[in-house]
Structure 1
Amino acid sequence: MKNVAVIFGGRSGEHEVSLQSAKYIMDMIDKEIYNVIPIGITKDGQWFTGPNVREGLLQGEVFGHPLSIRLFGKDRGFMVKKDDGWQELAIDVVFPCIHGSYGEDGCLQGLLEILNIPYVGSGVLGSAVGMDKGMMKTIFTQKGLPVGPYITFNKYQWEREKDLLFEQIESFGYPLFIKPANLGSSVGITKAKNSEDLLRGVELALQYDLKIVVEKGLIARELECSVLGNNELFVSTVGEIIPGNEFYDYNAKYIDDNSQIIIPAKISSEVEKEIQRLAKAAFRALDCCGLARVDFFYDHQGNIWLNEINTLPGFTRISMYPKLIEASGIKGKELVMELIRLALERKEELDKLRRDF
């Protein structure tokens, strides 16, 4: 029986969301095929494993055995500390479940590449670019994909060129959305209706990231679809989110129960096919694999705008990625098992590459 490590928690503003996703994933793994190893990372970056590690993180405590990572020699991998000392922890495949910084942005993926352990989802490049909203939009634009007006800048630029940047941003017209470049789950996002909101929004976003993105607020419907696969891609039906709050913020996603989700979205078959085509194009533009949720805007003039891609979407009870996949005929257990299979399949392909010259 192979060991699947589900890694969750982490040093991210999405720590709590990760714990919710991890429960869904661990519940969906077929225990007759795989042995599940929970690995929790605290908010200060300590790694632990054990049957109750997730429950401990929920309470802000530590339940479990400390983990270490050995990067040297042939026996690279995870080590667990028990009463009789450090022991090797055999892991055959990893299901990363850390949203945001250090888990979804290529950092964890790079570590697993060094350890030569297969993992679910996109590689270092796709994860990193998919996390950075500024670079993501740059690549989408270069690929000719429809992206709304935006500007990206860092803290250094804001401190030294505030007046110039302010003028450029306001030329878009209000409303505006201010976002940390490298976070998800709407953490640190502000909808600005005037200059005072804009200033407050930039200061808030810079508390979460050194780089931020400001986008023109489009008057449009919010549509999403899910992508599954490595080479041959399955794209789900399209769903719509009608936010109960000012926009689909963190509270609307995970706390309040006042948003409306419509699956399938009430759109024409032509619009659905175009969104599915663009979702595939976005997935391939960033060299993604495994899974992704792709978000769109559909305005009243009939224009479709690519908003962003999420390479490690949430797996909570209200998350759109599994809901859209299930509405397209693939149940939760089947989905999770397929994602693990795709991870192992990709590793087999990589192992066939030559390492000498």
Structure 2
Amino acid sequence: MSEFSQLVFSGMQPTGNLHLGNYLGALQKFVALQDNYDCIYCVVDMHSITAQLVHDDLADQTRAIAAAYLACGLDPKKNIIFNQSRVPQHAELAWIFNCVARIGWMNRMTQFKDKAGKDRENASLGLLAYPSLMASDILVYRATHVPVGDDQKQHLELARDIAQKFNNDFSERIADLGYGVEMEMGEEHVSGFFPLTEPLIEGPAPRVMSLRDGSKKMSKSDPSDLSRINLSDDADAIARKIRKAKTDPDPLPGDLDGLAGRPEAENLVGIYAALAGSTRQEVIDAFAGQQFSVFKPALADLAVEKLAPISAEMRRITADPGFVDGVLRDGGERAGARAEATMKKVREIIGFLTA
């Protein structure tokens, strides 16, 4: 009986353009993790059909997310990079987890409530069962860690509940087959087949807001393209959007308290700090008393320096769909081998006759 080796899993849906918030909140962290963990990064195309079944360009959007992974610095030889639908074991384990999870658990998911809105009876069953598929994404590789934002913490908690219930329901069979693995639960050491996956928090994620409204998160669904910096934007577009970003008439304050009640100013200071790898206080110290006519050009130069090479690399990679497909195909084969190793044991634990 051994312990779980540390493995990170994460993924992004192929819906709309990735933007600065996605880069600072997730992609930048993915790149940092690849040096210290065994990492699997997925384009979760099966998730993308839970709220909208028909997509005219799902294949191209899938390639675009993969290109963004690569352009930001993820190494396809060091990591496994693939699209979810290539590995049918995700769906197979999701069905088993649908039978493990309880309807009450799903009904409590706040994202389902938000996305279904008032017309819950008309929402797809897939949208309700979305967290079960997310749990299978993680646990089909028996991943120990997932980098998560605030909006996904509840789903990870559900994945842990599903793993624990499976471990408890099949505890005798897991022990008889010798498939138990040691793990820690608080101060206790227990045995189970699936790990209780932990959230991986690499420092505070910057909260990147809309460039047109500092009270709203930067979003790829915002109808105004000026509200966000897309990772596909070239240098001119990045600089133009920073220049047009909404601000107020007051100069930058001398301390952080002076940003209170100034959401647009706070947002731009936060973006500068995140891109520069510094603190907001250090940014305030450097620009205290300066007008935005001075600060914005400095921010534009920094954003272009950091993001323009990524957007150029994305365009280069996207122009070669055969290369992207090759990366995803190779990653899918490697991911599939791992997933099948898990599912072979799961089928045996449950008692499915497969011989």
TM-score (norm 2): 0.31
Query: Larger relative CO (CA 8 A, sep 6+): 1 or 2?
Result: 2
Structure with higher Rg: it is 2
Structure with the larger strand share: 1
TM-score, normalised to structure 1's length? 0.31
Higher helix residue share:
2
